Amino acid sequence: MLHREGTKTIFVSLLILAVPYVLLTQLGAADWAVSAYLALALVLLGLVLQFFRNPTRTTVAEAGDVIAPADGTVVVIEEAEEPEYFQGKRKQISIFMSPLNVHVNRAPVSGRTVFAKYHKGKYLVAWHPKSSTENERTTLVFETLNHGEVMIRQIAGAVARRIAVYVKPGQPVSVGEDVGFIRFGSRVDIFLPLDAEVLCKIGDKPSGGETVIARLRSN
């Protein structure tokens, strides 16, 4: 299944790839040249389709479980200051998404969206320490029923130039639900209460919407 964010890009890609093929055939290019271009065009189209894939995920979560909001590699686990919303220390887990990962962002918990804010910014590489505060980004906070609040921050990378968000304050969410999308290499930070139990480690490759990466304590 393909993600809705890819509709325009896929259509434009098809048009762009079709033009050289039409020119080659109209100009009477050799069969080998036409075949070689078709092979190249199919590879390029395959890469575009691969990027916008949206596989079905089965989310199984118990009370207090925090599910990975994105596919990728865990690159940060630390206590960090979160000045925008919590204005204090939280446990931070960061997942880096390469261009080859699925770029759908999913709700890590069930609850209610209580905060959503977009920030313009730079396009530092997604693993840069300052990308969390200086890059283009969107912050989302979800309030759970009995386990406090969880924040995710969608961060655009050096290549990514568009962050899509599908939720707004007051809107309920279900764990594993599609809440956003970031194009072409990016990062998602998750901020948890200090007493949360982290269940992942640096280098892990969680599956968005499926892998339990932390567990929250009841209020």
Give per-residue pLDDT as tens, 150-160: 999 999 866 65
The reply to whether 186 belongs to the active site is yes
Same domain, 13 and 85: no
Q: Which domain holds residue 201?
A: 65-215
Predicted pLDDT at 67 = 98
Same domain, 113 and 188: yes
pLDDT at position 136 over 90? no
Residue 59 resides in a domain: no
The per-residue pLDDT for range 191-214, each reduced to its tens digit, is 999 999 999 999 999 999 999 999
pLDDT at position 124 over 70? no
Give CA separation, 126 vs 12, 78, 112, 149, 179, in Å.
27, 17, 28, 25, 20
Confidence band, pLDDT 50/70/90 cuts, at residue 9? confident
Same domain, 116 and 78: yes
Same domain, 39 and 79: no
Contact 86, 151 (CB under 8 A): yes
CA 66, 69, 70, 75 torsion-angle sign: negative
Confidence band, pLDDT 50/70/90 cuts, at residue 89? very high
Same domain, 9 and 99: no
Amino acid identity at 175: V
Residue 137 resides in a domain: yes
Q: Report the C-alpha gap between 219 and 143 in whole angstroms.
A: 12
Same domain, 45 and 84: no
Residue 151 resides in a domain: yes
Most distant CA pair in the chain, distance: 73
Q: Report the C-alpha gap between 87 and 99 in whole angstroms.
A: 32
Q: Report the C-alpha gap between 72 and 55 in whole angstroms.
A: 14
Catalytic-role residue among 13, 94, 186, 207: 186
Residue 102 resides in a domain: yes
Mean pLDDT of 179-186: 82
Q: Report the C-alpha gap between 42 and 48 in whole angstroms.
A: 10
Tokens of 118: 């977009």
Closest CA to 162 of 186, 189, 126: 186
Same domain, 100 and 146: yes
pLDDT at position 48 over 60? yes
